[in-house]
Amino acid sequence: MQFPNKLYSYKNSTLSLIPVVLDEIKQTPVPVGELYNRVKPSLKDATDFISVMDCLYALRAADINDDGEVFICL
């Protein structure tokens, strides 16, 4: 997980990707694969997606249901 600091600007940090993912799951639950494909243009690599999802889960802002769909908890 990359936090903003001397090496990483906010734009290049994991925190900047959180609103992108939340916007995608705001209306309806989205399957994980489809969510990844939707936000892929904003990512440098797949590990960025995993970091964002870890962060959202730790904050209890997003979760995944039994059908493999990510939904917003806020």
Domain region containing 25: 10-72
At 46, is the secondary structure helix, strand, or coil? helix
**Residues above pLDDT 70, as percent of the chain:** 100
- Which segments of 1-74 does DSSP mark as H helices, in order? 18-25, 32-39, 46-58
Average pLDDT of span 25-54: 95
Decide if 67 is inside a domain. yes
Decide if 63 is inside a domain. yes
Domain total for the chain?
A: 1
Decide if 4 is inside a domain. no
Decide if 5 is inside a domain. no
Residue 74 has pLDDT above 80, yes or no: no
Average pLDDT of span 4-26: 92
CA dist., res. 37 & res. 39, Å (int): 6
